[in-house]
């Protein structure tokens, strides 16, 4: 008989909670007292992209909003509410919009009804998904020539995922709450792509990225400190140092 995944998850949670409490008796009481995350993460709902895990950070370090294909639309009140709360009330220092490789949304936007692949981009999924993926299909149409020039299907989907992040960052930069925070207190916006095949996050070099030198590194970088880690954004990407 197959194992019940829900019961297994509950058992795993119990073991995790016990381990964390044993490791640090103050961990959960401190967590319950409030949150002060420095990062707002806007990502994809894909089960392979859990933000806190792939950043090597802890509960309380990252405020999160995820949806199918990490689409940031100016008319989406759900996303707008998350952004406003994180920026205006939690006063995060960084917004990270992160797409990923092997994205089902990007593949669907590129799919053709005639052959299930390629650059046709007119295969219907049905239901609300067709409406939700409209921005991705618009990007596909706007960049059709460049995308069609990429022979490999996976590479074409990655490029569309990058274009989607770029478009989302532009929307973020036009958000009034974000604009005010960038101007008044130096809020940073980063566009990234998570490579599922390697586990690495690649900074796409878009957004607002003033840099400072991390002592002893010899390079210009921006530090983001979490509870048990230090995430460093620099010109070549991001790195994590455990502390």
Annotated binding site for Zn(2+): 44, 46, 100, 103
- Whether residue 57 contacts residue 231, with contact meaning beta carbons closer than 8 Å, is answered with yes
For 99, 122, 164, 223, the CA distances from 118, given in Å and listed in that order, are 21, 10, 18, 40
Sole residue written with tokens 């995060």: 92
CA 197 to chain centre: 16
Please give the Cα distance from 41 to 76 (Å, whole number).
Answer: 16
Alpha-carbon dihedral sign for residues 30, 25, 13, 38:
positive
DSSP state of 214: P
Binding positions: 44, 46, 100, 103
For 35, 103, 135, the CA distances from 158, given in Å and listed in that order, are 34, 8, 16
- Whether residue 28 contacts residue 36, with contact meaning beta carbons closer than 8 Å, is answered with no
Relative to beta strand 94-100, strand 39-44 is parallel
Element (H, E) at 184: helix 176-185
Report, as residue numbers or ranges, the catalytic residues. 44, 46, 48, 100, 103
Question: Within a 10 A sphere around the Cβ of 188, how many other Cβ atoms?
Answer: 21
Please give the Cα distance from 50 to 22 (Å, whole number).
Answer: 24
- Whether residue 28 contacts residue 227, with contact meaning beta carbons closer than 8 Å, is answered with no
């Amino acid at each position: 008989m197959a194992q019940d995944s829900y019961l297994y998850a509950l058992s795993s949670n119990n073991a995790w909670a016990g381990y964390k409490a044993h490791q640090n008796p103050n961990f959960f009481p401190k967590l319950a007292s409030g949150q002060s995350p420095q990062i707002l993460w806007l990502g994809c709902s894909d089960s392979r992209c859990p933000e806190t895990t792939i950043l090597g950070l802890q509960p309380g370090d990252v405020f999160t909003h995820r949806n199918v294909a990490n689409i940031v639309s100016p008319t989406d009140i759900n996303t707008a509410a998350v952004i406003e709360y994180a920026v205006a009330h939690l006063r995060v220092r960084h917004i990270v919009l992160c797409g990923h490789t092997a994205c089902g949304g990007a593949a669907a936007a590129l799919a053709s009804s005639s052959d299930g692949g390629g650059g046709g981009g007119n295969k219907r999924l049905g239901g609300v998904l067709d409406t939700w993926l409209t921005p991705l299909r618009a990007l596909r149409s706007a960049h059709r020539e460049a995308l069609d020039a990429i022979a490999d299907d996976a590479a074409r989907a990655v490029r569309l995922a990058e274009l989607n992040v770029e478009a989302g960052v532009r929307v973020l930069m036009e958000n009034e709450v974000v604009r005010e925070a960038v101007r008044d207190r130096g809020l940073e916006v980063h566009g990234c792509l998570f490579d599922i095949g390697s586990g690495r996050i690649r900074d796409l070099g878009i957004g607002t990225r003033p840099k400072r030198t991390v002592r002893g590194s010899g390079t210009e970088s921006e530090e983001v400190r979490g509870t048990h880690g230090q995430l460093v954004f620099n010109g070549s990407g991001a790195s994590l140092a455990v502390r």
